[in-house]
Structure 1
Amino acid sequence: MSTVLIIGVGDMGERLAAGLAAEAGVRRLVLAGRSQATVAAAAAGIASSSDCLVEAVRLDAERVDDVAELLVRTAPDLVVQCAALRSPWALAGREDEVARGIIAAGLALRLPYQLPVVLAVMRAAQLAGYSGPVANLSFPDVTGPILRSQGLAPTLGLGNAGMVLRRVRAALRTAEPGAEPPLVRILGQHAQVFDVMQAREPADPEDRCRVYLDEDGRREDALAYRAPALEPGVRYNPVTAAAALPVLGALLPGAAPLRWSTPAPLGLPGGYPVRIANGSVALDLPPGLTVDQAVAFNERMGRGDGVERIDEDGTVHFTPACREAVADFAPDLAEPLAVGEMAARAARLDALLG
């Protein structure tokens, strides 16, 4: 019976906690977050609606020593990292020039909100000698390769490619009700998810997610865009949770193997088909697709989030379109961003956004 530590108990953290509490193999959940009231309320609700032991812990997850101490004390079998300094949805509905420009630039410009907590968690895992799996929800398609450059890559990411897989399966159920679903393998990047969720098929076939069916990897990319449309917003969260929970269950000790698609396995950019077994993750690419080809595709698609390239030391360079989006009010936001500059850039964002 397993212990799972969930860091960050916002809407997604609580959804994943509730799903894990229903897993037969989970005996104990440790919920950790900055707000004691929020964490305690989530823990009380989950404890009252499941047979799982639930512990609430106040934690500033940017404090590496505190996270390391919690890892040693709780000895989790799985760590689920859901925390960020600001939610990706935090600017939803804002119409001021600054917010519109930063949204148009792509999520990569907000890396200073997405990277620091997961970076601290991975440093804490190293400090504590924790060798179990870590699943990261915070912009994994881009934070994963940055962390890999530091020797700190989580086991895998959550959401994104798995959400596309869920959408494909929904389209298949509609097309063939009652039929046994085929094996679905997805190659795709976070920037492509919005078109998938809104059922907007890109005109250029090269810009579509790649969908591979059955063992032979038959291409059916259009299926990614055939499920009912969902406008961007927190309604995506149930789909994200449904994409993540099979992965988390498969990472538990003694779990059955799983073939799925996830972002950032082993710190790679974008999302890939994987096999999860015995707590380890391996790529599960279809016949004829090489790792180099898969990575090159996801790196190209990552430009939709504003990432031109990531250097070997983790420095992020932004695309011309990203730079143009903020050129009129804060061109410095799109200067190359090194890992050690995240705090200063976050402060700059805070000053602009309020």
Structure 2
Amino acid sequence: MSAPSIAVAGTGAFAGALVRALARHPEPLALHVLSSDGRRAQDLGELARDHAALGGAPTTCEAHHADPRQADGIERLLHRVRPTALVVCTSEHSPAERTTDPSAWTALLADAGFGLTLPLQAAHAVRYARACERAAPDTVLVNACFPDAVNPVLAALGAPVMCGLGNVATLAAALCTRLDVDDPRRLHLLAHHAHLHTPPSAAQEARGWLDGTATDVAAQLEAVRHRGRAQLNEVGAVAGAAPLAALVGAGPEYHGHLPGPAGLPGGYPVTVGHRRVELRLPAGLSHREAIQWNTDRGRLDGTAVGSDGTVRLEAPALAALRRHWSDAPDLWTPSDLPQVHDTLRRLRTRLRSLPAPASPAPSPPPSLQGATP
């Protein structure tokens, strides 16, 4: 019997850390790296094979050129490879742009919130989902691109997305370390992508339970949030190896946390087995309450995404967007995704050509305000 196979679409920092972690998995796995940049795919594939050899793991890894914008090519590749699971780690927006290439576009996102990028995060995931439906219908789809908000949209479009990676899993892994929790089943955490940052008020903070008892996790999360995004990405990616192994039948049942399970908004405690993901909520918390809580916290990213995939922009986000797109809709459904995506891409192209607005000069400390030199 051939080993279970996992295809990872993307070669960025998150995808790279995930592939390296999977390469060291102790049970047989066949990895496939997919990228529109064939050279990067080859490099990551070779690195994965090095990690497998160093760890004495029975993993194999192949690299493939794959451009999600070329549907026929993707379908032929997926039909040939037939991966047990496909993990989408590639999108049309990189959070790193705000520091590497600041512009009027990144300034808009700073004002409107990360949720505005949802159509750009979803585009490749939708293309891969459609390719799987046509060419590899037995493949399990996992989306790691803003899954807290994108996965409900995918599910509403009929794409059977199983779950996401990162975000709540990143925070939960770091919490287990800080709380000295050796059995992840002891921890239950509700957290949205937005909780990678400090919320405006304590009432909007993530919710945690330890050994079935509600516990304040704010102080521990603050320490985690001070880490650089690269470090958080690495933790989230490595944390994704165990649930993926469980999902494809190459590892034991996983008890931990994942975002976007079964297309739900936000992140939850879960149990993962072969081709299944189930919520693992603390006693006294209903599925409906947990889903509503995550829907509400999604507004911290500037958008509210319902379990039916409907996207509503919060008032500040809409006001920021309408400074550049005067009749931007305040609400759109999954069927509106292509139009919203295309308009947002054109807007991004225009705003990228403009410099970021100058930041206002910081006010002097109160003790110096009004002082004369």
C-alpha distance in structure 2 between counterparts of 1:147 and 1:61, whole Å: 16
Task: Note the residue ranges of structure 2 that are not aligned, 5 or more in a row.
Answer: 54-58, 354-373
Task: Note the residue ranges of structure 1 that are not aligned, 5 or more in a row.
Answer: 196-201
Counting matched residue pairs gives 342
Distance change >3 Å, CA 104–CA 153, structure 1 → 2 = farther
Does the CA-based 8 Å contact 2:8-2:19 persist in structure 1? yes
Report Cα offsets for 1:66-111 as digits up to 9, x if no partner. Answer: 2222221112122111010121222225554442222221112112
Report Cα offsets for 1:213-267 as digits up to 9, x if no partner. Answer: 22x3443433642545525532322122133222222212142111111100000
Give the aligned partner of residue 324 of structure 1.
Answer: 319
1:210 aligns with 2:207: yes
Structure 1 SS opposite 2:29 = strand
Larger radius of gyration, structure 1 or 2? 2
C-alpha distance in structure 2 between counterparts of 1:21 and 1:35, whole Å: 21
Report Cα offsets for 1:2-46 as digits up to 9, x if no partner. Answer: 221111111211111111111122432111101111111111222
CA apart distance, 1:281: 0.7
2:191 to 188, 199, 204: 188
Structure 2 SS opposite 1:155 = strand
Q: Name the stretch that deviates more: 267-276 or 98-107.
A: 98-107
TM-score using structure 1 length: 0.88
Does the CA-based 8 Å contact 2:189-2:207 persist in structure 1? yes
Does the CA-based 8 Å contact 2:9-2:34 persist in structure 1? yes
Give the aligned partner of residue 11 of structure 1.
Answer: 13
CA apart distance, 1:336: 3.6
TM-score using structure 2 length: 0.84
Q: Name the stretch that deviates more: 152-161 or 249-258.
A: 249-258
1:78 aligns with 2:85: yes
Does the CA-based 8 Å contact 2:188-2:269 persist in structure 1? yes
Q: Name the stretch that deviates more: 293-302 or 126-135.
A: 126-135
1:340 aligns with 2:338: yes
Distance change >3 Å, CA 91–CA 334, structure 1 → 2 = farther
Does the CA-based 8 Å contact 1:171-1:226 persist in structure 2? no
Structure 1 SS opposite 2:98 = coil
Does the CA-based 8 Å contact 1:98-1:329 persist in structure 2? no
Distance change >3 Å, CA 204–CA 229, structure 1 → 2 = closer
Matched AA of 1:295:
I
Does the CA-based 8 Å contact 1:168-1:223 persist in structure 2? no
Give the aligned partner of residue 350 of structure 2.
Answer: 351
C-alpha distance in structure 2 between counterparts of 1:109 and 1:71, whole Å: 30
Give the aligned partner of residue 49 of structure 1.
Answer: 51
Give the aligned partner of residue 158 of structure 1.
Answer: 165
Q: How does 1:243-254 map to 2 (within 5 A)?
A: 243-254=239-250
Matched AA of 1:347:
R
User: How many percent of aligned residue pairs carry the same amino acid?
Assistant: 25
Give the aligned partner of residue 76 of structure 2.
Answer: 69
